[in-house]
Structure 1
Amino acid sequence: MTPDRHRATVLVLTNTYDVTADAVLRILAERRVPVVRVDPGVDLPGGAPLTARYGIGEQRGTLRTSSRQLDLTRVRSVWVRRPSPYDAPPELADHTAKFAGAQAFWGFGGILASLPGAHYVNHPWHIRNAEYKPAQLAVASRAGFLVPETVITTDPAEARRFCTDRPGGAVYKPLWDSRFRTGDGVAQTVWVHEVDPAGITDAVSVCPHMFQAKVDKAFDARVTVVGDRLFAIRIDSPDLDWRHRQDLMTCTPIGVPEPVALSITAYLAELRLTFGAFDFAVTAHGDWSFLECNPNGQWAWQPAGTTAAIAHAIADQLERGPDA
């Protein structure tokens, strides 16, 4: 039986400090849409009981928080924002904690990813599949995007050869946003940077490295997509990687060329995503080169009008649920 969408709840999975989620939750509150916000990696092991029952033709369950009891069959939408990693209570011994943490990941994570009839923005399994950079590049190519020549390798000679053969230069990008720690334990972000082939050492063999042809860009573009709605901005920055010094960049709304929009639709369909944050490098000739798509990217840093429009689009998705 389809739940009454006027009474069914939106479940928001995110951490306590996620202020971006607040922008959408305020809109849902104004619309009188019931919401339960939980950080499953912290709250569930910390005393918010979650129970699921399965049988022949039956699936039901409950989640109890400090203020509410949620019937898991009456969840219209699940917004997987920025939940904390599943972990065990800190008081457990190390060997027990590892076991408990794994059980939480597969147990809590499996329950929350399998709610009957719920609309996910995005489904956590689809988020994970779409986070692999090699998969992004493969899907982007099939979707018709311009994709810069790229090599992912552990072979130093291959890396040097690739970078040497790029007449416009080459850049290095990490395959995952892992924080690099210096010898004294200080965490540092690894930014996209230009590569001197002569500086490539045998250390490349330690792990996969991604090198890409440098795009002679006039500006960057971020396209945030919610369902079939596109919100695009032009980013002008003095840096190769605009994230490095965001206080120096300027952002202005921009239109999206129709071929790029069609490729975006094809990309999201193949990876089964409702939300995506696309980054492009745009040349002076108007060519849009695909750089990446974050299936759970931040968006509240954009101009106020764009941020508000994205927040309303996400709220629309969550309120409509399976009808979105």
Structure 2
Amino acid sequence: MTVLILTCEEDVTADMVVVHLNAAGVPVVRLDPADLTSTVALSGEFVHGAFRGHLSSAGRLVSLDGLRSVWVRRPGAAAARAAQPSAWLTEEASQALYGMLRGTGVRWMNHPDASVRARHKPWQLRLAQRSGLPVPATLITTFPQAARDFAERYPDLVVKPVSGAHPQDPPRAVPTTRVPPGADFAAVAYGPTLLQRRIAKRADIRLTAVGERILAARKDTAPGADPDVVDVRYAPSTTPWRPADVPPRLADAVRAYLRDAELAYGAFDFAEDADGTWWFLECNQSGQFGFVEVDTGQPIARTIAEWLAGPAPRPGPRSADRCGSAAS
């Protein structure tokens, strides 16, 4: 049976997993939904109570009944590179592709419905709390007075986007930024603002969860680091990521998070304070892992390949409607 990987052509992180699948002799088809109607084609037939579906890409034809798993890695918008792209065509192509795949009963990493839900930061924070993960005091508000009151209670704050999206095109990352003392919060009224107590961190933690397997890496804060640069993505540092042991209670909380989120994969970011507490910042349901594997040698790509190559779920009542879970 075949593993289907939905991602863009430039995704070198997916390449790392494909190498392991090829070495294990597991058939793989990799395509970008953006290429639908150009170099990717699909067909599905619903006749006499049965379904037959096929995908074609780069000269390869795969039966949807022959899929064991689908990895939704970094796919483009469906039909975005069609000869005459449009919002209407994207919606039609997306409905056709993902609608057919939803009916196959494959293992998902991650199921599209679970992925959409998992991107919501407020939802993440509440789920993290319920799962037993430490969460810094956080406020999301459009009330300037609420922001002022929050700043009085927690004078050392950072501000970050609720969605992570950049307002300009092409999209760029928006860094987490420290709020200066005496900040004027009047502009909060013009858009939801996420304020969070700053963690005086001694290290950043990237925890990668694949099914039941948890792999964590730690990056020490450089001595004399500028306390105003709080986003590890923008902090100049030559300190490598190193493997880290995961406290058992935190590992249990991460698994509970994945189980309730119905995710098979999650890249968790934590800030470790001076007491050794790992504070939950976010979980990216399709986060990068290549940079961690390069530094630490942790077998993340191989672990993902093994999960994708695992047995397909057994057909059961309403199996086509269920999201893939971390325990599946």
TM-score w.r.t. the length of structure 1 is 0.88
Structure 1 residue 175 and structure 2 residue 162: aligned? yes
Structure 1 residue 315 and structure 2 residue 299: aligned? no
- Deviation digits for residues 223-250 of structure 1, max 9, x if unmatched? 1011111111111233411111465443
Deviation at 1:321, TM superposition (A): 3.5
Amino acid at match of 1:213: R
Residue 231 of structure 1 is matched in structure 2 by: 215
| 2:126 alignment partner, one of 121, 138, 149 | 138
Residue 107 of structure 2 is matched in structure 1 by: 119
User: 1:221 and 1:88, CA in 2 relative to 1: closer, same or farther beyond 3 A?
Assistant: closer
Deviation at 1:315, TM superposition (A): 0.6
Tell me how far apart the structure 2 counterparts of residues 124 and 306 of structure 1 sit (CA, whole Å): 30
Tell me how far apart the structure 2 counterparts of residues 151 and 224 of structure 1 sit (CA, whole Å): 26
| 1:67 alignment partner, one of 52, 59, 67 | 59
| 1:103 alignment partner, one of 75, 78, 92 | 92
Amino acid at match of 1:129: R
User: 1:90 and 1:304, CA in 2 relative to 1: closer, same or farther beyond 3 A?
Assistant: closer
Tell me how far apart the structure 1 counterparts of residues 236 and 286 of structure 2 sit (CA, whole Å): 19
Deviation at 1:90, TM superposition (A): 5.8
- Which residues of structure 1 form unaligned runs of 5+? 1-7
- Which residues of structure 2 form unaligned runs of 5+? 314-327
- Secondary structure of 2:232's aligned partner: coil
| 1:272 alignment partner, one of 262, 284, 291 | 262
Amino acid at match of 1:159: A
Deviation at 1:207, TM superposition (A): 1.8
- Secondary structure of 2:280's aligned partner: strand
| Conserved 8 A contact 2:128-2:280 | yes
Q: CA RMSD in A?
A: 2.1
Deviation at 1:200, TM superposition (A): 3.2
- Deviation digits for residues 181-218 of structure 1, max 9, x if unmatched? 3xxx7865321111136333432222211101112222
Tell me how far apart the structure 2 counterparts of residues 140 and 65 of structure 1 sit (CA, whole Å): 39
User: 1:307 and 1:45, CA in 2 relative to 1: closer, same or farther beyond 3 A?
Assistant: farther
Select between 310-319 and 204-213 the one with higher mean Cα deviation: 204-213
Tell me how far apart the structure 1 counterparts of residues 236 and 103 of structure 2 sit (CA, whole Å): 39
Superposed, 1:279-294 pairs within 5 Å as 279-294=269-284
Tell me how far apart the structure 2 counterparts of residues 81 and 211 of structure 1 sit (CA, whole Å): 30
Select between 207-216 and 171-180 the one with higher mean Cα deviation: 171-180
Tell me how far apart the structure 2 counterparts of residues 224 and 315 of structure 1 sit (CA, whole Å): 14
User: 1:34 and 1:131, CA in 2 relative to 1: closer, same or farther beyond 3 A?
Assistant: same
| Conserved 8 A contact 1:159-1:200 | no
| 2:285 alignment partner, one of 286, 290, 295 | 295
Structure 1 residue 37 and structure 2 residue 30: aligned? yes
